[in-house]
Amino acid sequence: MKNIKTLRCKRSNYGGARQSTEWIVIHYTGNAKDTARGNANYFANNNVGASAHYFVDDNDIYSSVPEGDIAWHCETPNMPFRCTCRNRNSIGIELCTCGDYQISEKTADRAAELVKDLMDRYGVPLANVIRHYDVCLKNCPAPWVKDVNKWFAFKERLSDMTETNVQKICNDMIYKYNKELEDRIITFINNKFEAEREPRYDKLEDIPAWAVDTVTKLVEEGIMQGDGKNLGLTKDMLRILVIMDRSGILAL
Ligand SMILES: [Zn+2]
């Protein structure tokens, strides 16, 4: 692609040979208003501990980290991964802002040209062009996290497909991520409940001596069967049954 300027990132801000190009990750700089040159210059001269392959604004695209190297752009500490995208298998693109932390249409157009070129060269499918947010829930690029339609509109720029198809791909992707996230949350909650669950008395031999007569009667009468295998009684349940039994309410 023509008209890409190069201002190399300081060597201490990136490193390692990239293993593959499976993903293209879109970020924003998070500043109120800035330029590609300003960012490239900053990353060239400061120890930031982060980096990106490209910075894009209304007028320029700056190449910062060489495409063959790993930029440190999408692995955010303490954030859960929602897909297999990592620094080592992706290209990171930072979109600059045009005021009030917004991304201009012109910057989006310029970025779309760059992304299309990368998709062609590396064979990256549209579904694998994602936001930093899709990698690990980071609020980046914030304007396109807040308004997903702006993200859809950007994805639409990347292909000749109809809006419906692009929307469908985006929706499928969001569904997949949400499903993965939902499964993780459910597992987490279940494990937590399991750990905190109060003990159950499942077999007659487990029942404490003070309740054993009552439960034995209920089981022998066929009134209490549990789930067929386990009685599943808590201590509170046992106490209520014993009180009812002793007061004659159960009339066993
Ligand atoms: Zn980001």
Ligand 1 centre to CA of 208 (Å) is: 58
Alpha-carbon radius of gyration of the chain: 29
26 within domain boundaries: yes
Ligand 1 centre to CA of 20 (Å) is: 20
Global pTM reads: 0.66
DSSP 219-237: HHTTS--TTSS---B-HHH
Domain count, the chain: 2
Ligand 1 centre to CA of 173 (Å) is: 19
142 within domain boundaries: yes
- Residues 59, 140 within the same domain: yes
DSSP 70-139: EE--S--TT----SS--GGGEEEEEEP-BSTT---HHHHHHHHHHHHHHHHHHT--GGGEEEHHHHH---
pLDDT at 165: 65
For every one of its 252 residues, what pLDDT tens digit does the chain have, with 9 covering 90 and above?
778 999 999 999 999 888 899 999 999 999 999 999 999 999 999 999 999 999 999 999 999 999 999 999 999 888 889 899 999 999 999 999 999 999 999 999 999 999 999 999 999 988 899 999 999 999 999 999 999 999 999 998 887 655 666 676 777 777 777 777 777 777 877 777 777 777 889 998 989 999 999 999 999 988 888 888 889 899 999 999 999 999 988 777
Ligand 1 centre to CA of 16 (Å) is: 20
The helix or strand, by DSSP H or E, that contains position 60, with its residue range, turns out to be none
195 within domain boundaries: no
- Residues 101, 131 within the same domain: yes
Ligand 1 centre to CA of 75 (Å) is: 9
Ligand 1 centre to CA of 56 (Å) is: 13
223 within domain boundaries: yes
pLDDT at 156: 84
pLDDT at 164: 63
Q: Which residues contact 121 (CB under 8 A, 6 or more apart)?
A: none
Ligand 1 centre to CA of 78 (Å) is: 14
Ligand 1 centre to CA of 178 (Å) is: 19
Structure tokens at 130: 């994602």
Cα–Cα distances (Å) from 212 to 163, 188, 206, in that order, read 68, 35, 9
- Range(s) of the domain holding residue 235: 204-247
**Residues 39, 96 contacting (CB under 8 angstroms):** yes
Ligand 1 centre to CA of 26 (Å) is: 7
Distance CA 52, CA 42 (A): 12
